[in-house]
Amino acid sequence: MSFDFKLMLRMYFKSITAYHETGARFTLKRTVLILSFPVWYGFLEITTWICLFLDEIFFPGYRKIDIKKPVFIAGFPRSGTTYLHRVIDNDRQFSSLKMWEIVLAPSIIQKKFFQQLGRLDRMMGKPLYRMVIALENKIFAGSRSMHKISHFEAEEDEIILIHIFSSLFLTFMFPFDEMNQFSRFDTDVSPGRRKKIMNFYKKCVQRHLYVFGPEKHFLSKNPASSSKINSIYETFPDAGIICTVRQPFEALPSAISWVSYGFKQFNTADQAVVTAKILALISHFYTYPLEQLDKRPEVCRIIETYDNLVSEPGAFVKRIYDRFGFTISEEYQRYLDRETEKSKKYQSNHSYSLDQYGLTTEQVVNDFKSIFDRFGFESV
């Protein structure tokens, strides 16, 4: 069984008896979340695991799906990974998990149920779709300026590991030190547990391709993949990994802002506490993937800067395709040309500073000196 019951129970009871260790305050909101967790999470997982079991009876052929040349996008959060993911996902030869699949439908039976529900909804004029969009606009209003979240968009499939209580995203709900192991996956998660987690993930990918096209190349984007470089290659031997790197002065405050939003949905704490926790989680995502990718043949990895991506997305993608052996169709080339034209007019609406998160220029340069030196980023 790949579900980590022991870890779940430890984290749940620590949330009741030792929440003070997190540096956050036990508020009414937190109380409601903890009391309701067994209800909504229990219902979700019992339903999901019944459906996963039924897959083995009704759709055993999914296990024979050959995952050919999957592509994984890694890198520090807010380094262009989401944009790159959505650009490549517009190529029909690729397929990614959307949020509705990740959270509500990891099994084939659930996918087919929601597909049929979607068809029925379209026949009726999309009332359910409009209702979901309206709810999303309210629920995700605070995050839309940083990252567009929607059940109908491709999203970070690290979230699918909540179904075995082994996702880095669970650190938002349970911000205890023991959960930090998922931010240093290759090195801190035990070999046996790593294998179980990656086997579950592989089966999720096979199920996805079984429904949406076994001939397609699977595409994944996760900053959390930055700590899984070796595990990815062990599980998917012909995988290609893309790592995007952004100037730390820009990426750090942007990443802290975004991850703080997630943390504060489940916890109430001073920003200094939140910042310290976030840096403990994600600083590893800058250096570790570069160290590990440098050991791999160039044919299965590519390291590029954020600036190259946003200035020339078409040329950026072409280098990726040339490296990994993919072809660009005429239709997709036209799309890339349009994206390149749009990139010339793009201006970010975000403005973050190191000061607002208690960071100094000297501290950042010292902590990420290898990044500044390697990529020639300005350090003053």
Whether 358 is covered by a domain: the verdict is no
Q: Would you state the pLDDT for residue 372?
A: 96
**Buried-exposed string 162-193: b where 16+ CB fall within 10 A, e elsewhere:** bbbbbbbbbbbbbbbeebbbbbbbbeebeeeb
Whether 357 is covered by a domain: the verdict is no
| Number of other CB atoms surrounding residue 92 within 10 Å | 11
Whether 354 is covered by a domain: the verdict is no
Q: Would you state the pLDDT for residue 280?
A: 85
Q: Would you state the pLDDT for residue 49?
A: 98
* Beta-bridge partners for 305: 245
Whether 376 is covered by a domain: the verdict is no
Classify 256 as helix, strand or coil. helix
Q: Would you state the pLDDT for residue 344?
A: 82
Q: Would you state the pLDDT for residue 282?
A: 87
Query: What is the distance of C-alpha 283 from the center of its chain?
Result: 16
* Beta-bridge partners for 302: 242
Q: Would you state the pLDDT for residue 217?
A: 99
Q: Would you state the pLDDT for residue 148?
A: 74
Long-range contacts of 341-346 (CB under 8 A, 24+ apart): 343/310, 343/311, 343/312, 343/313, 346/310
**What average pLDDT does this structure show over 139-163?**
84
Name the pLDDT band for 281 (thresholds 50, 70, 90): confident
Whether 250 is covered by a domain: the verdict is yes
Whether 365 is covered by a domain: the verdict is no
Q: Would you state the pLDDT for residue 142?
A: 67
Structure-block tokens of residue 342: 């749009």
Percent of the chain with pLDDT over 90: 84
> What's the pLDDT tens digit per position in 39-98?
999 999 999 999 999 999 999 999 999 999 999 999 999 999 999 999 999 999 999 999
Q: Would you state the pLDDT for residue 145?
A: 61
Q: Would you state the pLDDT for residue 352?
A: 72
Instruction: State the chain's mean pLDDT as an integer.
Output: 94
Whether 328 is covered by a domain: the verdict is yes
> What's the pLDDT tens digit per position in 9-39?
999 999 999 999 999 999 999 999 999 999 9
Q: Would you state the pLDDT for residue 294?
A: 98
Whether 363 is covered by a domain: the verdict is no
> What's the pLDDT tens digit per position in 89-104?
999 999 999 999 999 9
Name the pLDDT band for 196 (thresholds 50, 70, 90): very high
Name the pLDDT band for 353 (thresholds 50, 70, 90): confident
Q: Would you state the pLDDT for residue 57?
A: 98
Tell me which residue range forms the domain holding 62: 5-348
pLDDT at residue 312 greater than cutoff 90: yes
**Where residue 65 sits, what CATH number does that domain have?**
3.40.50.300
Percent of the chain with pLDDT over 70: 97
**Number of folded domains that form the chain:** 1
Q: Would you state the pLDDT for residue 139?
A: 81
Q: Would you state the pLDDT for residue 85?
A: 97
> What's the pLDDT tens digit per position in 211-256?
999 999 999 999 999 999 999 999 999 999 999 999 999 999 999 9
Q: Would you state the pLDDT for residue 37?
A: 97
Name the pLDDT band for 379 (thresholds 50, 70, 90): confident
Query: Cα separation of 211 and 101, whole Å?
Result: 11
- The conformational region for residue 325 under phi > 0 = left, psi -120 to 50 = alpha, else beta, is left
Which is nearest to 53 in space by CA: 203, 153, 197? 203
